[in-house]
Structure 1
Amino acid sequence: MLGECWERERRVEGAITMISLTRNLCLLPRLTLRSSIFISSSLFFSTSTARKPSPKLSFIAGYLISSIGFSPEKAIEASKQIRHINSPSKPDAVLKFFKSIGLDEAGIRNAVSRKPILLCTQVEKTLKPKVRVLQQVGFSQPEIAKLISENPFFLHRKNVQLKIEFLADLFSSKADLYRAIIKNTHLLCSNLDNRIMPNVSYLRACGLSSDQIGYLMKCNHRFITRRLDSIKSVVQRAIELGFSPESKMFRFALHSTCRMSRASVDAKIKVMRTFGLSEAEISSAILKAPQLLFLSVENIKSKADFFMKRPDCELSYVISHPKLLCYSFEKRLVPRYHVLELLKLKGLPKRKCGLFYCMMISDKKFVEKFILPYEKELPDLSKIFLSACAGNVSMEDCFS
């Protein structure tokens, strides 16, 4: 009898265990039959292979998660660079300092993700002196916080003060200096003696003033941190296009040529030749409007075709006013030309204006001169112009 009771209790306990396990399985996500069988076997049979435990996080990986808000994946990756940190003392000091100068949690997380080694940097010896230099220049606390968040690399570089003092002479305002520093992460990290100063000296020898060099840096933030042979190549290309270093347009030419390859420039010159233009005419057009080089080959071709469709517009006129090719189709050329054609049908305006003048004036002046005075004759002209600016008029409509 006693044996039967034990056997009955054993069966009851087994049944309860099975019910409990079944309920737990119902809570699991839907699985394939194969994976379900695997889970069942691992639960019901003690002989199945046990799951491998997840790897234990290092101290610094856990710190990155709990104190800075990294995801586990990002924390593991970043911790590879600073795995030697096994105490919170240095990271805590760095975070405390960053918070004291205005960095919020997102700013700190961004800075540390870009340069994890910040967490083992000495505050008094390394971080404070760099921040003090920025304060002495006159950068505000929010500006300094943003700079560190987006470009923390300079905090471990030497001669930061000398670099800023040297660069300040190239810019007309503190705002321009700040913009250049924050846009070009290499500017405060490049070697002053071997990279920045030789480049500036060469450009000055070419006849560029400090203001002109500063302009180039504003337009192309990485220009001054290029290799010297690269800058020489850009200067040589501008000279080949006909620009003189003494010309006021030389800086615009450098801005254009430094942003594209020689092959790209040659392709644009080639498409201009297909319109029957001479080398002298092409050179003259580029000298007047270096921004032509920023246009794509297709853009140059389509705009030239657009103007050549106009009966009273010679290609020679367009080339003598090359900025016409630089204006936007959608925002300027098509809407204004459409209005001018409608006025022409009505015999307006009484005084003839050149096409270039009509296209180069501001939107406000265009409305004042070519729309408002003719509302009586064409009451819908303003609506037509706005509709054209919204893209509801095609190039073909201008000639229909």
Structure 2
Amino acid sequence: MQRINSSPNSQNLAIKSLFSFFSSLSETQNSNAFLLNYLTETLNIPKSRALVISNSNRYSHIKSPEKPETVRQYFHNVGFSDTEIQLAVSVSPQILFSDVDKTLKPKIEFFQHLGLQGSDLGKIISKTPSLLTKILVNDTNNEDFIRVVSRWKWIPTDKSGLLRNIEYLRNCGIVGSQLSVLLVRQPRLFCYEESKLRHLVSRVLDMGFSINSRMFVYGLQAVSYLSEETFDRKLELFRSYGISKEEFIEMFRKAPGILASSEERLKLGLEFFLKDIEFKKSVLVHNPVCLTLSIENRVIPRYRVFQIVMPRGMLKKKLSFGSMLLLSEENFLKKFVLRFGDDAEELLLAYKGHGLGSSRKENLETTI
């Protein structure tokens, strides 16, 4: 007969398993069974989250699919995907029990008036569903306008300036998904004095951005964060590393996000690429997005791996360090660590900061 292991550890594990089982059973029994089933089967919300929602006393009265189905169908009709509905309800479940005509429709129509349609609208709402739960609609006026509490309380009661700015941005070619970028990332832009907004647009155009370029909206967002004095200081920083004003503007057009970094982080990146590993200036100017990456968490760890695979000829064809930096974490590990079998452990140790140390002064003999 096989002897049963009755050690203290195995007993503790058994007790924990039983406790977990009965806790789960209790949660399920206390939940609104109809709502739990609807959330998991119809909306595909993970059971752990669905249990939290269905256990809430706030929704204990829900016994019919009529209202949630009306909401779900409405979201489908305005272009939301199943995943976007799932995300929105997971974060703000009260949306599922809202009155479509009185609560949701006026708010959705406001965003549609801004030019957000279909998937663009779905992406915004799924990421910030509080826009549908914390916005108050003024019912005394038939025009499209809102009064916002919480994160959007900056929108003024007088909507005339807001609507003029929206129209001006539309005339600049900023519509649809581009408009949504500004709406989410720099909403105060919509409430600037019209003269200030026009000045910002003029600055972006003077730097060579094209209204027809998808980068125009990112350039506008970037300059709206910075005073002209701060912009000039960052320009001087790049100049101190031998990068001309023309090259700096070219880098900004390709990667407007570089201006979002602090001067300290920009200096750290310029120092590492141009001094420590002797990155060619022309390569950095052509790939400025490298300066937006974390030096400590991404650039240096991947450089350690690069120092191993390139000199040993482990790759079939020559590869630049810049292209290695731009890979996703998953693809980087697949292509430069896990695929090398016997060397994978050494590469992983180097990547995690062991084996090669943290010295940044070891220059490559390979051309970067």
**TM-score > 0.5, shorter chain as reference:** yes
- TM-score band, normalised by shorter chain: 0.5 to 0.7
Letter in 2 for 1:260: L
Cα distance between partner residues in 2 of 1:195 and 1:247: 26
Superposed CA RMSD in Å reads: 3.7
Structure 1 partner of 2:360: 396
Cα distance between partner residues in 2 of 1:240 and 1:260: 16
Cα distance between partner residues in 2 of 1:136 and 1:379: 51
Structure 2 partner of 1:186: 153
Greater relative contact order (CA < 8 Å, ≥ 6 in sequence): 2
Q: SS at 1:380's partner residue?
A: helix
* Uncovered stretches (5+) of structure 1, i.e. residues with no partner: 1-100, 104-133, 147-159
Structure 1 partner of 2:322: 356
Larger Rg: 1
Q: Shift of residue 202 of structure 1? A: 0.9
Q: SS at 2:253's partner residue?
A: helix
Cα distance between partner residues in 2 of 1:359 and 1:241: 27
Q: Structure 2 vs 1, CA of residues 312 and 278 (structure 1 numbering), >3 Å: closer, same or farther? A: closer
Cα distance between partner residues in 2 of 1:141 and 1:353: 43
Cα distance between partner residues in 1 of 2:285 and 2:333: 26
Deviation track 1:257-315 (CA, whole Å, cap 9, x = no partner) reads: 12222222221112112222223211111111110111122222221221123566311
Structure 1 partner of 2:259: 293
User: What are the within-5 Å matches in structure 2 for residues 1-400 of structure 1?
Assistant: 143=92, 165-169=109-113, 170-171=115-116, 172-174=120-122, 176-177=124-125, 179=128, 181=131, 184-186=151-153, 189-192=156-159, 194-309=160-275, 313-377=279-343, 379-387=345-353, 394-396=358-360
Cα distance between partner residues in 2 of 1:302 and 1:340: 20
Question: Do the aligned partners of 1:184 and 1:222 also contact (CA within 8 Å) in 2?
Answer: no
Deviation track 1:86-119 (CA, whole Å, cap 9, x = no partner) reads: xxxxxxxxxxxxxxx959xxxxxxxxxxxxxxxx
Cα distance between partner residues in 1 of 2:282 and 2:91: 53
Q: Shift of residue 187 of structure 1? A: 6.0
* Count of aligned residue pairs for this structure pair: 256
Q: Structure 2 vs 1, CA of residues 295 and 310 (structure 1 numbering), >3 Å: closer, same or farther? A: same
Question: Do the aligned partners of 2:258 and 2:291 also contact (CA within 8 Å) in 1?
Answer: yes
Q: Shift of residue 362 of structure 1? A: 1.1
Cα distance between partner residues in 2 of 1:225 and 1:186: 11
Q: Structure 2 vs 1, CA of residues 188 and 274 (structure 1 numbering), >3 Å: closer, same or farther? A: closer
Question: Do the aligned partners of 1:195 and 1:225 also contact (CA within 8 Å) in 2?
Answer: yes
Q: Shift of residue 232 of structure 1? A: 2.0
Cα distance between partner residues in 2 of 1:282 and 1:254: 16
Q: Shift of residue 333 of structure 1? A: 0.3
Question: Do the aligned partners of 2:178 and 2:214 also contact (CA within 8 Å) in 1?
Answer: no
Q: Structure 2 vs 1, CA of residues 141 and 305 (structure 1 numbering), >3 Å: closer, same or farther? A: closer
Q: Structure 2 vs 1, CA of residues 238 and 184 (structure 1 numbering), >3 Å: closer, same or farther? A: farther
Cα distance between partner residues in 2 of 1:353 and 1:186: 50
- The TM-score, its normalising length taken from structure 1, stands at 0.55
Q: Shift of residue 176 of structure 1? A: 1.7
Cα distance between partner residues in 1 of 2:310 and 2:279: 15
Question: Do the aligned partners of 1:243 and 1:250 also contact (CA within 8 Å) in 2?
Answer: yes
Cα distance between partner residues in 1 of 2:218 and 2:151: 20
Q: Shift of residue 334 of structure 1? A: 0.4
Cα distance between partner residues in 2 of 1:142 and 1:215: 21
Letter in 2 for 1:325: L
- The TM-score, its normalising length taken from structure 2, stands at 0.59
Letter in 1 for 2:121: S
Structure 1 partner of 2:42: none
Q: Structure 2 vs 1, CA of residues 162 and 302 (structure 1 numbering), >3 Å: closer, same or farther? A: same
Q: Shift of residue 162 of structure 1? A: 6.4
Q: SS at 1:387's partner residue?
A: coil
Cα distance between partner residues in 1 of 2:274 and 2:312: 23
Deviation track 1:302-345 (CA, whole Å, cap 9, x = no partner) reads: 21221123566311111111111111112210000011112244
Question: Do the aligned partners of 1:243 and 1:253 also contact (CA within 8 Å) in 2?
Answer: yes
Q: SS at 1:173's partner residue?
A: helix
Q: Structure 2 vs 1, CA of residues 140 and 323 (structure 1 numbering), >3 Å: closer, same or farther? A: closer
Cα distance between partner residues in 1 of 2:173 and 2:261: 27
Letter in 2 for 1:318: L
Cα distance between partner residues in 1 of 2:343 and 2:74: 60
Q: Structure 2 vs 1, CA of residues 361 and 174 (structure 1 numbering), >3 Å: closer, same or farther? A: closer
Question: Do the aligned partners of 1:334 and 1:395 also contact (CA within 8 Å) in 2?
Answer: no
Cα distance between partner residues in 2 of 1:310 and 1:387: 17
